[in-house]
Homo-oligomer: A and B are copies of this chain.
Amino acid sequence: MTYSIGQVAEKTGLTTYTLRYYDREGLMPFVKRNQAGRREFTDANLDFIDLITCLKDTGMQLAEIRHFVELAMQGDATLETRLNIFKRQQQAVCNQIKQAKQHLAKLDYKVRYYTAACDAGTEAAVSGDCELPGQPIIIDNQLRVKKVKAE
């Protein structure tokens, strides 16, 4: 079972332009052609494209990915180099997740801050340094624009 470039585009979500671009950039030297010169992708090829996508999405540049592909084409002699590439990328993604969580903490604070400000009707009523996620948000009821309902 093989797939045309259009079918692969559908399956992967990449455009045919992008797939041909990747091929030209040396990211897919394993894709065979039929007698008419058209690409015929196998299931193994699709798996490899998924891997390329994984590496790209985790911040690896196309040039580095091409390098990895070249190593993979050379067979067992490059096993250790490839292992190290994955170890490095693994570490990189761990750091990315750590950083993303820090960013998320900041965004969480901003949401709480702006929720309080919306509630009060003005930023002036909301205390504190917007940049300190740990800090409690205090509303100065004197400065409210929208009045609070008495209980």
Contact = CB atoms under 8 A, between A and B. Distances in A.
A72 B72 CA distance: 50
A50 B104 contact: no
A contacts with B: majority SS: helix
Nearest to A75: B123
A54 B86 contact: no
A118 B79 contact: yes
Nearest to A50: B131
Contacts of A130: 47, 51
Interface stretch (A8-16, A21-29, A30-38, A107-115): A107-115
A63 interface: no
Q: How many copies does the complex hold?
A: 2
Given A97-B97, A121-B76, A122-B76, A107 B131 contact: no
Contacts of A58: 100, 103, 107
Contacts of A87: 111
A50 B5 CA distance: 43
Interface of A: 47, 50-51, 54, 57-58, 75-76, 79-80, 82-83, 86-87, 89-90, 93-94, 96-97, 99-101, 103-104, 106-108, 110-111, 114-115, 117-118, 121-124, 129-131, 145
Given A58-B100, A100-B100, 18 more contacts: A47-B129, A47-B130, A51-B106, A57-B103, A76-B121, A76-B122, A79-B117, A79-B118, A79-B121, A79-B123, A83-B114, A86-B107, A86-B111, A87-B111, A90-B104, A90-B107, A93-B107, A97-B97
